[in-house]
Amino acid sequence: MRLLVLGFGTVGRALVSLLPPQSEVSIFSSKGGVSEVPLKAIQDAATGQKRLDALPEFRIQNPLEAVQTLDFDVLVDLSPTNLATAEPSLAYWRTAFERGKSVVTANKGPLAFQYRNMKELAEQNQAELRFEATVAGGTPVFSLARHCLAGAGLQRVEGILNGSTNFILTLMEQGESFDSAVSFAREKGYLEADARNDLEGGDAMAKAVILANALFDQDVRYADTRPEGIMGVTLEDVVTARKDGQRYKLIASVDAQQVSVSLQKVPYTHPLANIGDAWNALSFHTKNADAITVSGRGAGGLPTASSVLNDLLELQRIR
């Protein structure tokens, strides 16, 4: 299976390190990339933290042109998520699908903006669209629902989908102020320089939209949603809740009719109450099997790359 990987950041490097030696890989960043290069050379650059353009075979080329012209079976989109327009990934995906190529992605943008259109375009061209890594990083979500909960009668999903804000709330329970907790989260690398998508709930909402569309066949678009974040919570709020046996959590809730992200006080007995640090968790509420909760690292190179690899292995099995 020949791969065209877009993105040579944390997840792209981790994925390259996990691929078996016989893999055929072309890999591009925003300015260009390499193709028909032995995987070992790319792996050495990835593990050595070298820039892609340090490889002698690097050529300057627009990634869209690579999608249009290179010979590959699966486009692996690990480029940065754009929650303003979902571009340029929407253009990458359309081009790949129109060529009959499948897409595996960790990029939330196109799914949050045009899930149904992308799904239909893939089907029209006998291609596959897989996106396990877009929600909860290395924690199985869609594969769990698809393979293990088909007979359970899924009714609702609620979860902690943003590890950065969960980390901040955990620190506040330990006595840190909001501003201090945000600074710690930034130092740990959990927050971007512009942290608004995390703190205002946008990142969690994008993932909730994907859950709503993929698991409950809704047709929700991120641009039409209004998430709530954690910007208004104070240390006093957190301390008071703790005295009452409750914790603040930023919780996404999804079913067949609605999708929401809101800051909630939950009792210690709630299945999501004890998910701390930068972890994610989801509770699948079902008709026939009650509630099933899974948790794990919601981000990070290797956990996210492991979900991408899982999708690729699934595609290889059905080819």
Establish whether 207 is a catalytic residue.
yes
**Sequence-distant (≥ 6) Cβ neighbours of residue 94 within 8 angstroms:** 121
Tokens at residue 14, please? 């981790």
**Sequence-distant (≥ 6) Cβ neighbours of residue 98 within 8 angstroms:** 121, 125
Identify the bridge partners of residue 249 per DSSP, sorted by sequence position.
264
Nearest to 288 by CA among 153, 121, 86: 153
CB 149 within 8 A of CB 292: yes
DSSP three-state, residue 145: helix
* Cα dist from 29 to 57, 77, 88, 204, whole Å: 14, 10, 12, 26
**Annotated catalytic residue, options 40, 207, 265, 287:** 207
Distance CA 86, CA 210 (A): 13
Element (H or E) spanning 214, and its range? helix 202-216
The residue type at 163: G
Distance CA 94, CA 97 (A): 5
CB 79 within 8 A of CB 91: no
Distance CA 162, CA 201 (A): 8
- CB-based burial of residue 164 (10 Å sphere; 0-12 exposed, 13-18 middle, 19+ buried)? buried
Tokens at residue 151, please? 């007979």
Nearest to 266 by CA among 156, 166, 139, 180: 166
Distance CA 282, CA 20 (A): 31
Active site (catalytic) residues: 207
